[in-house]
Amino acid sequence: MPCENYKDALTEAAASGADPANALCSNAKMAALRAHFESCASCRAAFAEEQALFISIDAGLHATANAEVPASLLPRVRAALGEAATPRRGWSANWLALGTVAALVLVIFGAYSVRRRDSSENPVSTAANTTSTKAVLPTPLDPISSSNSMANRSSAPHVRTAFHKNPVPQETLASRNSLPQVLVPRDQEILLVHYAGEWSRRKRAPLVAESADETSLAPLEVAPIQIDQLDVKLLAEEKSQ
């Protein structure tokens, strides 16, 4: 049989990695190929070329598929992950924030100008108002100012200025104090938040009950004390006299 008839069989054998010389002759076709292969030198040479070609292909594929990964890849991806995790505000949110700030500035400026106009038009009443404001300002939450309130009564404007210089409102301080920060293990974050949610819900319930009692109960009415006319009796000696 001419060599041309075995060409495809030899190529397939090379592609599959089989060696016709050592192949098990499971069928007649393979037996014929093996017999021809042993007797034909040109087919053996062609098969060796095919094998070399597949070895080159495999080596090239290995080089292509196992390219060295640049060291910059993972840091780049981690940095991009950080950016992706931060929620980006849309343009509408930015405009909203800008508008809020602008409105706030206008309100503060308006209030300030009205106040200045009042003080320039009626300095006496403003001074009286200042005094009354001063008397109200000290609160139990601010022990320093309450203890000094009597001593500083003569220097009331100074006290008032000090209050205005402090940018943190007392309410904010109180609310911050009521929300403590806690260090917890990573795996207990969610549990703690659950607990905090339950805790705040339970805490809110009695407060609601308290406020309901205050509104429903009528003020206690006490009847005026009635004192009968005193009946003063004379002593025995006074009687005898």
Partner 1 sequence: MQELALIQPGGMARDEFLREAAQGEARREFEERLAECGPLAYRVACGVLRNSADAEDVAQEALLRAYRRFDRLRDRNRFRAWLVRIAFRLALDRLRSSKRREQRDTFWSHPAHQPPAANAEDLAVSNEFQAHLDRALGELPEKLRLVLLLAAMEGHTIDEVAAIVGVSAGTVKSRIFYARKQLAEKLRCHAKTIKTR
- Interaction site with partner 1 (CB under 8 A): 11-12, 14-16, 49-50, 52-54, 56-70, 72-74, 76-78, 80-81, 84-85, 178-186, 189-190, 192-197, 200
If the CB atoms of residues 7 and 115 are measured against partner 1, the closer one turns out to be 7
If the CB atoms of residues 15 and 98 are measured against partner 1, the closer one turns out to be 15
Cβ count within 10 A of residue 90: 9
Amino acid at residue number 86 = T
Cβ count within 10 A of residue 9: 18
Distance, CA of 20 to CA of 18 (rounded, Å): 6
In the complex, what is the shortest distance from the CB of residue 109 to partner 1, in angstroms, rounded to a whole number?
32
Q: According to the 3-state scheme, what is the secondary structure of 9-24?
A: HHHHHHHHCCCCCCCC
In the complex, what is the shortest distance from the CB of residue 9 to partner 1, in angstroms, rounded to a whole number?
13
Contacts of 156 (CB under 8 A, 6+ apart): 130, 131, 134
If the CB atoms of residues 65 and 144 are measured against partner 1, the closer one turns out to be 65
In the complex, what is the shortest distance from the CB of residue 90 to partner 1, in angstroms, rounded to a whole number?
17
If the CB atoms of residues 38 and 189 are measured against partner 1, the closer one turns out to be 189
- Residues 126 and 119 sit within 8 Å (Cβ to Cβ): yes
If the CB atoms of residues 67 and 223 are measured against partner 1, the closer one turns out to be 67
In the complex, what is the shortest distance from the CB of residue 191 to partner 1, in angstroms, rounded to a whole number?
10
Burial of residue 46 (number of CB atoms within 10 Å: 0-12, 13-18, 19+): middle
- Residues 130 and 160 sit within 8 Å (Cβ to Cβ): yes
In the complex, what is the shortest distance from the CB of residue 140 to partner 1, in angstroms, rounded to a whole number?
24
